[in-house]
């Protein structure tokens, strides 16, 4: 694998400007000769599609939902970071850059992160121009709130629906271009393979995709000059997560099977404030925005007996005296308090519950997020103004009124920092295959800070790819291959064979049942705390489950028709293969960093112990063929500006 990061020369703060000034451009009159395929219509995919179409490229965008407006970016609640320093509280591009590097536990690529911070301000300008109704003060200026891992207020928000408003903004720009005929939108289509075509020197380039029309079952071939994968993260490998039901690793994983490196799959983010699991019929977990930690205080009882009484419903949270409450984040991390980063807050919640102080009935897996103090200080109406929709959502799901009794929360799988490997230009090791947003690995290291996912998706789509894609296209020249190229026939046949294989099993288990079992293995053995022992067990159990899948899965209906069970089974089959790569990565990384916590590597006080000497690298996995172990290659992380430091929020 070619893992040259192609980071431009020069001082960190000037790399992007200088790169933009020197890379190749495509003449406006020539852009219409190029065709670009975009997979996914979330913030990254929608913004890339809209911008590339504006520039004059012909874009084909594919999404599995019934409209591009449904993509799961829509569910982000709390906000989007930008280094505007509108609050005059000491923010700057450098500080956002540093917070992101530190938040990612020194496992992100410095130059990419700096660029992200650099363009963050443009994103806010752009989204306001599109009509995104961000929160404002009475003077008409934009308002900000604070998020975890930062000591400045740099998060812009639109009530508790920031992701929705940003996505609908990008969707509206995309819609304009669809109306103008510059984007061809393919709703209800799922990408099942990427097609590589060799150039004159024999180097394979991504020149098309194989997709399945989910309404008719028809397998279609599409060719282009480049392919952009913007398909989101792989959190649903765990079955229960905050992701949407259709989110999957399929697009990224099928690209991996064609030679794209998969970087840092073990970096998964477990979000601290989600509604606890209620039972076995549950299909997803719901997040309560991190912004709630601006005004909510996290606690568990000090006393195990108190917790036991609460679990047995013999006592209420409001009856626990102050003296018996452990506001553990404020106690352990006084300078960041309840706004400690996500990985740290999640582990602290697990620690309290493992200690027998959890409060959720049954499992015990729950702690409190309490607003009583802030309601007393600010009044219920102020809290309702800030978080009303979240309190309503909480009540709908749990039947409890969080103005009167504290919310019960527990960590849940939320975001995945790992993803397909990309260079500084967001191109994978396969030429012509670009990866944007959560689907790539590049900006968040081992842990993402709150309100940074929206920032990255839009930065990649609006402000990075228009430049770097042009640089690639100018070098290869226009000319999407004809569909009768044998590479298309081969990929189409392989997709059909895969689907036929699933249909032919006709066993006795549903794909969902098998997915639930995979989720249990990953959550128990590759979740918030991992050990050599647990990972080794998982590495034995996953292939066994995979074998069971191929013997027992049952998919009714026909593959050449709308078939929701076939869609599900295909995604589960990929998760079952991918899970093994995730576990292997967690096993090789003999250190703790960010969302990856190995119990063998911790300080006596339970904090994560990084090993910069041996593990300051990006772990990139290369596919070696069916039933063969993938191989690991390393991209060393070189820091020019920042010095490694123990990550402390105390």
Just list the catalytic residues: 342
**Single residue of 57, 62, 171, 472 touching other proteins by CB under 8 A:** 171
**Single residue of 117, 197, 237, 244 touching other proteins by CB under 8 A:** 244
8 Å CB contact between 298 and 333: no
For residue 471, how many other CB atoms are within 10 A of its CB?
A: 17
Instruction: Give the nearer residue to other proteins in terms of CB position, either 429 or 563.
Output: 563
What is the spatial distance between Cα 282 and Cα 279, in angstroms, rounded to a whole number? 6
**Single residue of 36, 168, 249, 420 touching other proteins by CB under 8 A:** 168
3-class secondary-structure state, position 60 = strand
Q: How many residues bind other proteins (CB under 8 A)?
A: 85
8 Å CB contact between 105 and 445: yes
Instruction: Give the nearer residue to other proteins in terms of CB position, either 17 or 648.
Output: 17
* Token digits of residue 101: 């590097």
Residues 111-150, interacting with other proteins (CB under 8 A): 122, 124-142
Over 28-56, what HEC string results? HHHHCCCEEEEECCCHHHHHHHHHHHHHC
Q: How far is the CB of 156 from other proteins (least distance, A)?
A: 8
Q: How far is the CB of 164 from other proteins (least distance, A)?
A: 6
- Annotate 614-625 with b (16+ C-beta within 10 A) or e (fewer): ebbbbbbbbbee
What residue ranges in 66-141 does DSSP mark as E strands? 80-81
DSSP letter assigned to residue 290? G
Instruction: Give the nearer residue to other proteins in terms of CB position, either 114 or 463.
Output: 463
Residues 42-101, interacting with other proteins (CB under 8 A): 47, 50-51, 54, 65-72, 74-75, 84, 86
What is the spatial distance between Cα 391 and Cα 69, in angstroms, rounded to a whole number? 25
Residues 148-167, interacting with other proteins (CB under 8 A): 158-159, 161, 163-165
**Single residue of 2, 245, 381, 382 touching other proteins by CB under 8 A:** 245
Residues 618-647, interacting with other proteins (CB under 8 A): none
**Single residue of 20, 33, 278, 560 touching other proteins by CB under 8 A:** 278
Instruction: Give the nearer residue to other proteins in terms of CB position, either 49 or 268.
Output: 49
CA 632 to chain centroid, in Å, comes to 22
Q: How far is the CB of 72 from other proteins (least distance, A)?
A: 6
Q: How far is the CB of 503 from other proteins (least distance, A)?
A: 12
What is the spatial distance between Cα 454 and Cα 79, in angstroms, rounded to a whole number? 8
Q: How far is the CB of 389 from other proteins (least distance, A)?
A: 9
8 Å CB contact between 594 and 530: no
Q: How far is the CB of 261 from other proteins (least distance, A)?
A: 29
Does residue 184 belong to the site contacting other proteins (CB under 8 A)?
Answer: no
8 Å CB contact between 432 and 477: no
Instruction: Give the nearer residue to other proteins in terms of CB position, either 90 or 636.
Output: 90
Instruction: Give the nearer residue to other proteins in terms of CB position, either 71 or 469.
Output: 71
Residues 346-385, interacting with other proteins (CB under 8 A): none
Residues 201-230, interacting with other proteins (CB under 8 A): 215
**Single residue of 397, 544, 599, 629 touching other proteins by CB under 8 A:** 397
What is the spatial distance between Cα 200 and Cα 202, in angstroms, rounded to a whole number? 5
Pick the piece of the chain touching other proteins (CB under 8 A) from 147-155, 250-258, 411-419, 560-568.
560-568
Residues 497-536, interacting with other proteins (CB under 8 A): 506, 508, 510, 512-513
8 Å CB contact between 265 and 446: no
What is the spatial distance between Cα 643 and Cα 471, in angstroms, rounded to a whole number? 32
8 Å CB contact between 144 and 154: yes
8 Å CB contact between 450 and 342: yes
Pick the piece of the chain touching other proteins (CB under 8 A) from 296-304, 474-482, 534-542, 559-567.
559-567
Q: How far is the CB of 515 from other proteins (least distance, A)?
A: 12
Does residue 279 belong to the site contacting other proteins (CB under 8 A)?
Answer: yes
Residues 446-485, interacting with other proteins (CB under 8 A): 462-463, 466
* Token digits of residue 157: 């928000």
* Token digits of residue 439: 């689907």
Nearest-5° Cα angle at 375, 374 to 377: 60
Q: How far is the CB of 416 from other proteins (least distance, A)?
A: 17
Q: How far is the CB of 136 from other proteins (least distance, A)?
A: 4
What are the φ/ψ torsions at residue 317 (nearest 5 degrees)?
A: -55, -40
126, 432, 469, 627 from 256: Cα distances, Å: 33, 14, 20, 15
What residue ranges in 214-292 does DSSP mark as E strands? 219-223, 226-229, 262-263, 268-274
Does residue 173 belong to the site contacting other proteins (CB under 8 A)?
Answer: yes
For residue 603, with 0-12 CB atoms within 10 Å meaning exposed, 13-18 middle and 19 or more buried, which class applies?
exposed
Instruction: Give the nearer residue to other proteins in terms of CB position, either 86 or 639.
Output: 86
Pick the piece of the chain touching other proteins (CB under 8 A) from 295-303, 394-402, 585-593, 603-611.
394-402
Residues 564-593, interacting with other proteins (CB under 8 A): 564-565
Instruction: Give the nearer residue to other proteins in terms of CB position, either 240 or 495.
Output: 240
């Amino acid at each position: 694998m070619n893992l040259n990061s192609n980071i431009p020369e020069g001082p960190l703060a000037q790399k992007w400007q200088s790169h933009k000034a020197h890379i190749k451009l495509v003449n406006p009159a020539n852009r219409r000769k190029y065709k670009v395929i975009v997979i996914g219509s979330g913030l990254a995919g929608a913004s890339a599609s809209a911008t590339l179409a504006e520039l004059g490229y012909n874009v084909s965008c594919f999404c599995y939902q019934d409209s591009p407006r449904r993509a799961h970016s829509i569910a982000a609640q709390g906000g989007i970071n930008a280094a505007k320093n509108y609050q005059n509280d000491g923010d700057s591009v450098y500080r956002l850059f540093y917070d992101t590097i530190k938040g990612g536990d020194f496992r992100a690529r410095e130059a990419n992160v700096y660029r992200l911070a650099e363009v963050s301000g443009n994103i806010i300008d752009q989204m306001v121009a599109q009509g995104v109704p961000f929160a404002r003060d009475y003077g008409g200026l934009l308002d900000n709130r604070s998020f975890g891992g930062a000591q400045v207020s740099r998060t812009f928000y639109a009530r508790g629906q920031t992701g929705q408003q940003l996505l609908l903004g990008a969707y509206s720009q995309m819609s304009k271009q669809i109306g103008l005929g510059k984007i061809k939108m393919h709703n209800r289509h799922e990408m099942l393979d990427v097609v590589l075509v060799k150039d004159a020197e024999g180097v394979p380039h991504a020149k098309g995709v194989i997709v399945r029309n989910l309404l008719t079952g028809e397998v279609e071939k599409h060719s282009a000059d480049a392919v952009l994968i913007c398909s989101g993260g792989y959190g649903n490998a765990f079955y229960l997560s905050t992701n949407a039901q259709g989110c999957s690793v399929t697009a990224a994983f099928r690209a991996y099977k064609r030679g794209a490196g998969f970087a840092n799959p073990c970096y998964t983010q477990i979000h601290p404030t989600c509604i606890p699991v209620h039972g076995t019929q549950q299909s997803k977990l719901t997040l309560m925005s991190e912004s709630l930690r601006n005004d909510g205080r996290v606690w568990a009882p000090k006393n195990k007996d108190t917790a036991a009484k609460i679990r047995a419903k013999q006592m209420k949270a409001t009856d626990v005296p102050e003296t018996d409450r452990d506001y553990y984040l404020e106690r352990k991390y006084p300078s960041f308090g309840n706004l400690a980063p996500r990985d740290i807050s999640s582990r602290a919640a697990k620690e309290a519950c493992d200690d027998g102080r959890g409060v959720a009935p049954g499992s015990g897996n729950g702690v409190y997020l309490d607003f009583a103090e802030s309601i007393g200080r600010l009044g219920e109406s102020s809290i309702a103004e800030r978080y009303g929709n979240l309190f309503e959502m909480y009540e709908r799901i749990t039947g409890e009124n969080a103005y009167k009794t504290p919310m019960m929360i527990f960590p849940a799988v939320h975001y995945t920092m790992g993803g397909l490997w990309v260079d500084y230009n967001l191109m994978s090791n396969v030429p012509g295959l670009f990866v944007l947003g959560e689907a790539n690995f590049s900006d968040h290291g081992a842990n993402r800070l709150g309100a940074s996912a929206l920032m990255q998706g839009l930065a990649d789509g609006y402000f990075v790819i228009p430049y770097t894609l042009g640089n690639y296209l100018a070098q290869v020249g226009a000319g999407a291959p004809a569909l009768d190229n044998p590479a298309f026939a081969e990929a189409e046949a392989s997709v059909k064979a895969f689907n036929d294989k699933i249909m032919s099993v006709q066993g006795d288990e549903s794909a969902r049942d098998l997915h639930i079992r995979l989720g249990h293995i990953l959550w128990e053995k590759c979740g918030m705390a991992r050990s050599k022992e647990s990972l080794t067990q998982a590495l034995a159990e996953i292939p066994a489950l995979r074998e069971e899948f191929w013997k027992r899965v049952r998919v009714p209906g026909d593959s050449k028709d709308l078939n929701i069970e076939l869609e599900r089974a295909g995604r589960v089959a990929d998760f079952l293969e991918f899970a093994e790569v995730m576990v292997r990565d967690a096993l090789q990384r003999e250190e703790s960093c960010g969302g990856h916590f190995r119990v063998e590597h911790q300080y006596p006080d339970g904090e994560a112990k990084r090993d910069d000497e041996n593990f300051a690298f990006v772990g990139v996995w290369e596919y070696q063929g069916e039933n063969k172990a993938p191989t690991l290659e390393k991209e060393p992380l070189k820091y020019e500006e920042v010095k490694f430091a123990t990550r402390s929020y105390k």
